[in-house]
Structure 1
Amino acid sequence: MLHLSCRLVTQGLTKPNNFTVRNQCFKLQLNLARQFSGIAHLGGQGRLRDISDSAAAGSIISMDHHQRHGPITMTTRSSSSKVAPAKIKTYSVTKNLHFYSSSRTNWSKDSQTLRLDEQLDKPLVLMFAWLQATEKHIKKFAEFYIEQGFHVLVVHLSPWQLMWPVQGSQVVAGDVVKFLRNNDLERGVVLHGFSVGGYMWGECLVKIHEDESNKLVLDKIKGQVWDSAADITEIPVGVPYAVLPKNPMLQRALRGYITYHLKLFQEEATQHYEKSTNIYHSEPVRCPSLMFVSKSDPVGTEEANRKVMASWESVGVKASIKCWDRSPHVGHFYKHHDEYVDLLLAHLSSLNIADYIPKAKL
């Protein structure tokens, strides 16, 4: 069906002025998007569950990991040899925003403004996850940052939301900016994005620059970390790889479809990708940046990330990059764990975060 859909969309591209054909292609694309979402669902077992705002009804819903895979525990180090377990709970702010904390606070919010009833007493890491990121993977980073004395807010994006930005990624970006604007965050915010997270932050920047009152958000951000950040030109490579990592044949079919999607839906999708990537390059948040890349990564390429770095440095952003010869896409933390953590701790220590003292690494 996927191969057939791609061929039919190709026929539509050869007759762009034929309204009937274009409309048929549009309907076909919607059907394929549903299949696409189904494939993503089957391939993404273990992801954080989506919980609607209506279910939240004015409070953040706690998703205790004990209900599914047992509690997430971490160790807090002290001068003694005793190990004190700390349980990490996950709270749903929206269906795409999930809050990780080891605090005993029962976090609640205003469902309209996303303002927390109790403001954070620690700095916040705003983490933009990669497509199909599993709970197991995100948990490792949450554990690291919570041990370092941060709270963590994770932003998830589904393949469908990526493909249809007006109804998808831009809605998520609006919620991210709303959360940043309406909460005090006096201890500051650190961005940590993976892969398509660079595009997602670009959509947030679009929202910030559209409204003058949102620009105060930028003052809260003290530093940024980008791991395997993917340029918009790599969407046809990155999405199939994320959704179907073990099926090269379907990857090729899906890559062809996404290429057609970008050509056919210029107004509905492609122009928004271009706007996001342009502002990501030219209007960065003015705080120190650390990039992790690999020469062997076909999605978050070294070349694309170095272009971003040069663009940021030209407007005064202090930027540094670590590039490995061989390391998988969004897998540097696991492949080069000690070096990754050492660089990350040094970067965090250099930021203007009040009273932050790096802890021993995991």
Structure 2
Amino acid sequence: MSVTSDRQFSKQTLTKNLDLLTADPVKVSKINLGSQQNVPIQTSVLETDRPRPLVVMLAWMLARHKHLAKYAQIYIKRGYDVLTVSITPWQLLWPMKGCQLVADEVVQFLDYNKNCQPIILHGFSVGGYVWGEAMVRMKEDLPRYQPIIDRIIGQTWDSAADVTEISIGLPLAVFPNNPIVRAALEKYVRYHLKTFHDVATIHYLRASQLFHTTLVQAPALLLVSEMDPVGSASSNKRLKETWESMGIKMSWKCWEDSKHVSHYLKYRDEYTDILERFLDSLKPKEEDMQQQISEKLQAKL
């Protein structure tokens, strides 16, 4: 595990797909969870005796650390640790050996770090699919994983992309400046979805369905743009309506001209203000949860 730091925070690499960003370095130990296909499975445990509020930040495809850091700093200033979750194009195309394993890493980290609460989700683009896979995993053993769901007090989804946009979004992320190669990859992704239905597409559909019928009832903020072809305003509006019908408290912002996962880049002050006000609305629940875990820890002592 590598540890780096800059002026604002410390970064600890937990796995190839998970990084932990904290205001100051925190001691982390590894525990073994057995093995799968003769490969040892481990998870990271924070050595702490106090509540550590956590943001699970589910990145867009090929997101750079320096770009995620700009969002992470908003939360770190509020006292949160940030767990960034990234996947590669290969892990997206082959979910059984890729994205599902990453989703399981997220679930196990949250399960074995019960002091990491309250939890806030902040996902971008394909991050919605990754979280869908995490919920598929949790739903398989809900009595065990329901406490993770209960620790989530809020969720922000920036340019959330549905399964129907994979053939557009993936090529755009990999080849943003090469329309010829991008068109070829788009054609391949459509072929991939059709040809590998049982090992790929069926998993996208299941995770997408669970994302829309979510296990998480916490208030949600959706950030979208009218001109985004990947995380389209229309698909996000349907998501908003579905969640509202489930009783989830919704907040919504739709810009006219910002690009996919670029709302913050174009409208930084407004984006930050909207997010900060949403987070302020979660403050009572955050304080109540921290008080509860503090009392439990004191009782153990």
- TM value normalised by structure 1: 0.74
Tell me the residue number matched to 2:273: 342
Q: Tell me, what secondary structure is at the counterpart of 2:82?
A: strand
Cα deviations across residues 25-58 of structure 1 (Å, max 9, x unaligned)? xxxxxxxxxxxxxxxxxxxxxxxxxxxxxxxxxx
The answer to whether residue 179 in structure 2 is matched with residue 239 in structure 1 is: no
Q: Tell me, what secondary structure is at the counterpart of 1:64?
A: strand
Q: Tell me, what secondary structure is at the counterpart of 2:199?
A: helix
Cα deviation, residue 113, structure 1:
4.2
The answer to whether the Cα contact below 8 Å between 2:26 and 2:47 also exists between their aligned partners in 1 is no
Query: Which residue identity lines up with residue 17 of structure 2 in the other structure?
Result: N
Tell me the residue number matched to 1:73: 7
Cα deviation, residue 62, structure 1:
3.0
The answer to whether residue 261 in structure 2 is matched with residue 330 in structure 1 is: yes
Counterparts of 1:144 and 1:263, CA distance in 2: 41
Tell me the residue number matched to 2:31: 110
Cα deviations across residues 286-338 of structure 1 (Å, max 9, x unaligned)? 00000100001010000000111111111111111100011011011111111
Tell me the residue number matched to 2:20: 99
Query: Which residue identity lines up with residue 201 of structure 1 in the other structure?
Result: W
Tell me the residue number matched to 2:141: 211
Cα deviations across residues 147-173 of structure 1 (Å, max 9, x unaligned)? 121110000111000000000011111
Q: Tell me, what secondary structure is at the counterpart of 1:354?
A: helix
Query: Which residue identity lines up with residue 109 of structure 2 in the other structure?
Result: F
Cα deviation, residue 355, structure 1:
7.6
Residues 163-172 or 110-119, more deviating: 110-119
- Structure whose residues are more often strand by fraction: 2
Tell me the residue number matched to 1:63: 3
Query: Which residue identity lines up with residue 250 of structure 1 in the other structure?
Result: V
Counterparts of 2:164 and 2:12, CA distance in 1: 34
Counterparts of 1:256 and 1:298, CA distance in 2: 16
The answer to whether the Cα contact below 8 Å between 1:128 and 1:192 also exists between their aligned partners in 2 is yes
CA pair 340-149 structure 1, distance change in 2 beyond 3 A: same
Counterparts of 1:156 and 1:192, CA distance in 2: 13
Tell me the residue number matched to 2:37: none
The answer to whether residue 65 in structure 2 is matched with residue 144 in structure 1 is: no
Moved over 4 A (4+): none
Query: Which residue identity lines up with residue 191 of structure 1 in the other structure?
Result: L
Q: Tell me, what secondary structure is at the counterpart of 2:45?
A: coil
The answer to whether residue 86 in structure 2 is matched with residue 156 in structure 1 is: yes
Which runs of structure 2 are paired with 1:15-34 in the superposition (5 Å)? none
Cα deviation, residue 89, structure 1:
1.7
The answer to whether the Cα contact below 8 Å between 1:197 and 1:229 also exists between their aligned partners in 2 is yes
Cα deviation, residue 216, structure 1:
1.8
Counterparts of 2:193 and 2:124, CA distance in 1: 22
Cα deviation, residue 119, structure 1:
5.2
The answer to whether the Cα contact below 8 Å between 1:63 and 1:90 also exists between their aligned partners in 2 is yes
Query: Which residue identity lines up with residue 28 of structure 2 in the other structure?
Result: W
Which runs of structure 2 are paired with 1:115-130 in the superposition (5 Å)? 115-118=45-48, 121-130=51-60
CA pair 309-284 structure 1, distance change in 2 beyond 3 A: farther
Cα deviation, residue 211, structure 1:
0.7
The answer to whether the Cα contact below 8 Å between 1:110 and 1:116 also exists between their aligned partners in 2 is no
Counterparts of 2:45 and 2:61, CA distance in 1: 27
The answer to whether the Cα contact below 8 Å between 1:284 and 1:312 also exists between their aligned partners in 2 is no
Tell me the residue number matched to 2:214: 283
Tell me the residue number matched to 1:320: 251
The answer to whether the Cα contact below 8 Å between 1:206 and 1:276 also exists between their aligned partners in 2 is yes
Q: Tell me, what secondary structure is at the counterpart of 1:157?
A: coil
The answer to whether the Cα contact below 8 Å between 1:202 and 1:277 also exists between their aligned partners in 2 is yes
- TM value normalised by structure 2: 0.88
Counterparts of 2:25 and 2:208, CA distance in 1: 39
Query: Which residue identity lines up with residue 307 of structure 1 in the other structure?
Result: R
Cα deviation, residue 144, structure 1:
1.8
Counterparts of 1:353 and 1:272, CA distance in 2: 34
Let me know the Cα RMSD of the aligned residues.
1.6
Counterparts of 2:49 and 2:18, CA distance in 1: 17
Structure whose alpha-carbon radius of gyration is higher: 1
Q: Tell me, what secondary structure is at the counterpart of 2:31?
A: coil
Unmatched segments (≥5 aa) in structure 1: 1-60, 66-71, 75-87, 357-362
Cα deviation, residue 214, structure 1:
1.4
Count of matched residue positions in the alignment of Structure 1 and Structure 2? 277
Counterparts of 2:268 and 2:288, CA distance in 1: 26
The answer to whether the Cα contact below 8 Å between 1:108 and 1:118 also exists between their aligned partners in 2 is no
Cα deviations across residues 256-295 of structure 1 (Å, max 9, x unaligned)? 0000000000001000000000011113400000010000
